[in-house]
Structure 1
Amino acid sequence: MGNPKAFLTIHRQEAGYRPLHDRIHDFGEVEQTLNEKDRRTQASRCMDCGVAFCHWACPLGNKPPEWNDALYKGDWELAYRLLNETNDFPEFTGRVCPALCEKACVLNLTHHEPTTNREDECAITEHAFAENYIRIHSPKRNGKSVAVIGAGPAGLTAANRLNLKGYAVTVFDRNENAGGLLRYGIPNFKLNKTIIDRRISLLEAEGITFRYGEDIDVMSLPEGFDAYIIATGTPTARNLDIPGRELKGVHLALEMLAQQNRVLAGADISKDKLVNARGKDVLVIGGGDTGSDCIGTAHRQGCRSVTQIEIMPKPPVGHSDPANPWPAYPRTLKTTSSHEEGCTRRWNLNTLRFTGKDGKVTAAEVQEVTWESVADGGRPVMKPVGEPETIKADMVLLAMGFIKPVQPQFAENVFVCGDAANGASLVVRAMADGRRAAAEADRYLKR
């Protein structure tokens, strides 16, 4: 390492967010960037720790010690080459990854100040684009073709890997553009869609064909391909089948998030189909990242208030949970930029019913619950406590996750990856599984 003792004298410095009063009025990315000097200084904190738990924790097997060292020494091109060896699209993960590597960083264990790997990754990649380090590859074709069904992070990763190996790759997607949940789930204030467009343009220049607006039935795959990658994600959101679900104003989270991203892209949505929180008291049911994205979107649409409720207990604060030791990803309370923008958060609440007037939702009836352990160590049992109460809501957004799809038995030349194979998970895990599926397809086609 260039400076093996930097971690002793230099503290973690994050770029931080744009001022709250500024960012809630637009959908521009909320995260700021450090200047080049400060970014290299932060990279110097990555120490020669012997056993790199960051590498172990990353589903892609990224090597932060190597590219952080190159960044610290000012060799941005080498840093990008090292990063891109394991990560096909670091401009995506550099913005939306929860940074499992940072949670497993030795500095997180000893100082609770891990290396800024995610921000470094994003900075390296943006520098690479700006300095034209990213060049178009023209792989020699091997005469075989592969169809990729789904243009989300798993499908794009598989397509990229197979294309670089010389296969003629065609990507099919039911939406009007590529990206999957990167485009139609994650808000622009976390990932500007021009970042996706830039990468898709590169993939097209390298020979990948994209066909949009084609909803492929996996039981009737398009003919003429030597292998198939199924990367259709988890299209079915978990619903809440309780009285009042049919009331106007109760929506699945993606109905709002996907529509807002389409509006920002220029889509014309009729007033009667518009899912907009302007002037409304919004209730978000679900405490995960999707729920957080709903909060931030509601603020930018001009809501009156936002309340987020979760049926599970409040996670512990800080780093003191003995049941969840380092280097595992910590199950601790997470406060996002959207939460900072204003939100009432409550836990251990079960939703009993929605009530309304003239066919429109006006409130949700909820009840506090407790979770009791069972003797055999199985799933805790939910028990109601106290009396039901009412939460006022003109709009309810259901952000309770997605149902893992059940896949049929496919032919031996069909490979399933990403959320379609494993259920809803992280973008970085989808990309890693897309890489796995591409390797398996390559081995099959070389037999």
Structure 2
Amino acid sequence: MGKPTGFLEFDRKENACLSPEVRLKNYNEFHQYLDEQQRQKQAARCMNCGVPFCQSAIELKGKVTGCPLHNLIPEWNDEIYNGNYQHALSRLLKTNPFPEFTSRVCPALCEKACINGIYDDPVTIHDNEYFIIETAYQNGWMKPQPPEIRSDKKVAVIGSGPSGLAVAYILNKRGHNVTVYERENRAGGLLMYGIPNMKLEKQYIQRRIDLLMEEGIEFKLNVNAGVDISKEELEKQYDAIVLCCGSKQARDINVKNRETNGIYFAVDYLTQSTKNQLDHTPYISAKDKNVVIIGGGDTGNDCVGTSLRQKAKSVVQIEMMPCPPLKRQANNPWPEWPNVLKTDYGQQEAISLFGKDPRVYNTTVSEVLSDEKGNITAVKTTKITFQNGKLTPVEGSEKVLPCDLLLIAAGFTGVENYVKDSFDLKTSPRNTVLTAKNHYQTENEKIFTAGDIHRGQSLVVWAIHEGKECAREVDEYLMEYTNMD
């Protein structure tokens, strides 16, 4: 413990953000980072608890609090405070293969479990993690470390999102020969095309991909496994196959006139926007349009931020659930996940631009209105309540909102059908790939699965966790034992 009284002496100070007026001019990341001395003070606030809930990942009332990767948070906070940044890096990389991703896009489950949060503000764990990994890159400490000894085993990883990269990284370090198949033109999966540049600039993904390639991992892009190469071909060429294809089948809406022009899934909208920024390809534009977004989660917020950068005329985000409270309620004590209102970057920008929160709660879209050419012009909304666990419309609550672009950000419904069919997969009622509980091997002993395709739609940090656990199981299958942690 670097400074026993640190949590008493120093107040929490987060990395600042550029103002919405400035950051809306481009798609760049917009945080401003503390200097080294201030960062050490923030690390000094860590109490090095006897039982550090921050790294526990315990489930309380159906929600997890604490880091799923079990990061050694008190250890690397202590090293930051003492200026031992390379030691901090070694402790961080011991549990987290990709802190440059989680330190940008993770909602910081660790901070929600920090004991300082009982009566004061939690430690800036998320920002401290960013400081460690970016300091490492700046100082040239992140160098390729290919394995000294190779096995004769070959593994195909299908999908290069966070779970696929984690599987590939760990199995390659073990000495196996890993090939990653990606159907897009760039590696990164969800990281590359599912998360906007404002949250995760693509140069940082490519920086890591380049490092993985130097360590011996082969990437085959523009190859759609199950279509361009069959399961049988993969089984002939590889000793194990790991499916990390994500949960990209978007949940649709059951609404009158769904076939109207101008309705898109959020994942397609965000993907096309990022591809346009990278390759100047055609994209769905919100310029001068009244945009309505169905879905109040992170993806919906990303649509808000993206549409504002495209110069939308107006933005409304429709949320079916009621507005969460501003502060913790008595029945939601620490260390439970705090069920409180979160106003993210996109909503902050909308408030700054239009003077009000874009979110409308307890509301659903009941009908789409169009012109004579079949183009969307408005949506009809209805207030809803939950009665006996069922959605009930509120009589007389209908409203008509102008809408030129309707984006569906209602989540995902599991594995895509062609993947399921191509690899003869059995799925659960949630349309995730079936395996034994807490395991990753399918009925076909040669095929494993990890990430959203196995767990269901979730966070990047959970995808990395799944990749790590799956890699260990694959290694044990290949070698009939494993010495991996």
- Per the TM alignment, residue 142 of structure 1 is displaced from its structure 2 partner at its CA by 1.1
Quick check: 2:146–2:216 contact (8 Å CA) kept in 1?
yes
2:454 corresponds to: 421
Residue 401 of structure 2 is matched in structure 1 by 391
Offset, 1:325: 2.9
The 8 Å contact of residues 283 and 393 in structure 1, kept in 2 or not, is answered as: yes
Q: What secondary structure sits across from 1:308 in the alignment?
A: strand
Whether the 8 Å contact between 2:383 and 2:394 is mirrored in structure 1 is: yes
- Alpha-carbon offset, residue 48 of structure 1: 2.1
Q: Match of 2:483?
A: none
- Cα shift readout 1:368-399 (whole Å, capped 9, x = no counterpart): 01112x4xxxxx11111132211111111100
Question: Matched residues in 2 for 1:221 and 1:362: separation?
Answer: 49
CA distance in 1, matches of 2:336, 2:177: 39
3-state DSSP of counterpart to 1:8:
helix
CA separation of 1:227/1:252 partners in 2, compared to 1, >3 Å: closer, same or farther? same
Q: CA deviation at 1:221?
A: 5.6
CA distance in 1 between partners of 2:48 and 2:281 (Å): 53
Q: Is the 8 A contact 2:328 2:339 kept in 1?
A: no
Give the conservation status (yes or no) of the 8 Å contact 2:301–2:344. yes
CA contact (8 A) 1:31 1:190 kept: no
Corresponding letter in the other structure for 2:249: T
Aligned twin of 1:37: 37
TM-score normalized by the length of structure 2: 0.88
Task: Give, in angstroms, the shift of residue 36 of structure 1.
Answer: 1.1
User: In structure 2, what is the Cα distance between the partners aligned to 1:32 and 1:413?
Assistant: 47
Q: Which residue pairs with 1:346 in the alignment?
A: 360
- Cα distance, 1:187 vs. partner? 0.4
Question: What is the aligned-residue identity percentage?
Answer: 41
After TM superposition, list the pairs within 5 Å mapping 1:111-130 onto structure 2.
111=120, 113-130=121-138
Q: CA distance change for structure 1 residues 21 and 240 in 2, over 3 Å: closer, same or farther?
A: same
- For 1:403, the equivalent position in structure 2 comes to 413
Letter in 2 for 1:445: L
Query: How big is the shift at 1:328?
Result: 2.4
Give the Cα–Cα distance (whole angstroms) in 1 for the partners of residues 330 and 173 of structure 2.
Answer: 44
| Partner secondary structure for residue 30 of structure 2 | coil
Q: Determine whether 1:194 maps to 2:203.
A: yes
Secondary structure of residue in 1 paired with 2:94 = helix
Taking the aligned partners of 1:413 and 1:328, their CA distance within structure 2 comes to: 39
Cα pair 1:369 1:382 within 8 Å, conserved = yes
- Is 1:230 matched up with 2:243? yes
Alignment partner, residue 251 of structure 1: 264
Q: CA deviation at 1:321?
A: 4.9
Q: Is 1:7 aligned to 2:11, yes or no?
A: no
Alignment equivalent of 1:95, drawn from 104, 108, 112: 104
**Is the Cα contact below 8 Å between 1:281 and 1:304 reproduced in 2?**
yes
The separation in 1 between residues aligned to 2:67 and 2:307, in whole angstroms, is 32
Q: Find the residue that maps to 2:453 and give its secondary structure.
A: helix
| 1:442 maps onto 2:475 in alignment | yes
Q: What is the deviation of 1:143? A: 1.1
Amino acid at match of 1:9: E
Letter in 2 for 1:176: N
Which residue number in structure 2 is paired with residue 209 of structure 1? 218
Asked if 1 retains the 8 angstrom alpha-carbon contact of 2:55 and 2:72, the reply is yes
Partner of 1:280: 289
Partner of 1:337: 345
How many residues matched? 435
2-structure distance, mates of 1:196, 1:329: 29
Tell me what 1:377 maps to. none
Q: Name which of 284, 301, 311 aligns with 1:302.
A: 311
3-state SS in 1 of match to 2:264: strand
Shift of 1:27: 0.3
Distance 1:115 1:2 in 2: 14
Q: What is aligned with 2:423?
A: none
Quote the Cα distance in structure 1 between the aligned partners of 2:205 and 2:327: 34
Q: CA RMSD in A?
A: 1.3
CA 1:293/1:321 → structure 2, altered by over 3 Å: closer, same or farther?
farther
Unaligned runs of 5+ in 2: 57-65, 351-356, 416-426, 428-432, 435-441, 481-485
